[in-house]
């Protein structure tokens, strides 16, 4: 996608990147921009400069993993992670970050969780829900699961942020956040704020966890798309 017309950051300003290979790139950039943090699509080595954190969006993990390898971005992500860059994987992004995937070899393997892909069934078994996570927000947090994985278990050093019945929907280590669902497809900014703070950045506009004028197509202004 060649799309984004975000504000140019000031020199050396720390920012959050969104891996721009496939999936919800614009929607994540939109949410990061809404909390007042500079954001940038990331698709080549030079895009990693000044990143405090990187979001790996949802999409299709086999496809994303192949593109990561083809463009050697996997090696750069692992190196930058060891240099201090924080990571957040949503859905397929969480699968890429998992140390263990049922029936498959892991990809980046940067957080000690076990995931099972497509664990709820087909695309038709996608669903929306709402939860309360007091650590993140006083307001209820809407969630969208799209052919999502289940996080089956977490290893040492990984905390469960959200358990739902027989599976874990969100977890974190000190340096990596994973969500099986898609906060960028909802009006809630709570997870984006949480990740920004994890990156050592201070999100603005703290009065509300929801952005009232949000609508499903709000990200279109980033792509300069008009209906």
Q: Which residues bind ligand GLN (CB under 6 A)?
A: 58-61, 91-92, 95, 117-118, 146-147, 149
Outline where 20-87 has alpha helix (H). 25-34, 61-70, 73-82
Active-site choice (31, 33, 91, 116): 91
Active-site choice (114, 116, 172, 184): 184
Least distance between ligand GLN and beta carbon 49 (Å): 27
Active-site choice (172, 182, 192, 199): 182
Nearer to ligand GLN, 60 or 211 (CB): 60
Least distance between ligand GLN and beta carbon 23 (Å): 6
3-state secondary structure of 169: strand
Q: Tell me the residue number closest to ligand GLN, measured at CB.
A: 58
135: left (phi over 0), alpha (psi -120 to 50) or beta: alpha
Q: Is the dihedral of CA 107, 112, 117, 118 positive or negative?
A: negative
Nearer to ligand GLN, 52 or 177 (CB): 177
Nearer to ligand GLN, 43 or 107 (CB): 107
Residue 135 has, within 13 A of its CA and on its CB side, a CA count of 12
Least distance between ligand GLN and beta carbon 4 (Å): 21
Least distance between ligand GLN and beta carbon 144 (Å): 9
Find out whether 17 and 51 touch, Cβ atoms under 8 Å.
yes
Asked if 91 is an active-site residue, the reply is yes
Nearer to ligand GLN, 15 or 143 (CB): 143
Task: Please state, in angstroms and as integers, the Cα–Cα distance from residue 159 to each residue in 78, 83, 156, 168, 187, following that order.
Answer: 21, 22, 8, 10, 25
Find out whether 133 and 141 touch, Cβ atoms under 8 Å.
yes
Least distance between ligand GLN and beta carbon 68 (Å): 13
Q: Is the dihedral of CA 195, 199, 200, 201 positive or negative?
A: negative
Asked if 192 is an active-site residue, the reply is no
Return d(Cα 157, Cα 112) in angstroms, integer: 8
Asked if 107 is an active-site residue, the reply is no
Nearer to ligand GLN, 147 or 192 (CB): 147
Return the active site residues.
91, 182, 184
């Amino acid at each position: 996608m060649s799309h984004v017309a975000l504000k140019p950051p000031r020199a050396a300003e720390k920012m959050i990147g969104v891996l721009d290979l496939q999936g919800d790139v614009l929607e994540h950039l939109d949410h990061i921009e809404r909390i007042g943090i500079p954001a940038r699509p990331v698709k080549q080595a030079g895009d990693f400069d000044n990143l405090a954190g990187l979001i790996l969006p949802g999409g299709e993990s086999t496809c994303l993993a192949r593109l990561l390898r083809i463009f050697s971005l996997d090696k750069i992500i692992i190196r930058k992670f060891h240099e201090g860059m924080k990571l957040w994987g949503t859905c397929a992004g969480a699968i890429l970050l998992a140390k263990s995937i049922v029936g498959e070899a892991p990809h980046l393997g940067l957080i000690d969780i076990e995931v099972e892909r497509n664990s709820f069934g087909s695309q038709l078994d996608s669903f929306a829900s709402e939860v309360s996570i007091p650590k993140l927000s006083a307001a209820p947090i809407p969630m969208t699961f799209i052919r999502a994985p289940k996080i089956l278990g977490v290893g040492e050093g990984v905390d469960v942020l959200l358990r739902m019945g027989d599976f874990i929907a969100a977890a974190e280590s000190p340096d990596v956040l994973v969500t099986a669902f898609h906060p960028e497809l909802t009006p809630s900014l709570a997870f984006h704020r949480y990740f920004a703070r994890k990156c050592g950045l201070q999100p603005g506009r703290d009065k509300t966890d929801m952005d009232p004028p949000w609508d499903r197509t709000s990200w279109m202004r980033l792509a300069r798309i008009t209906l």
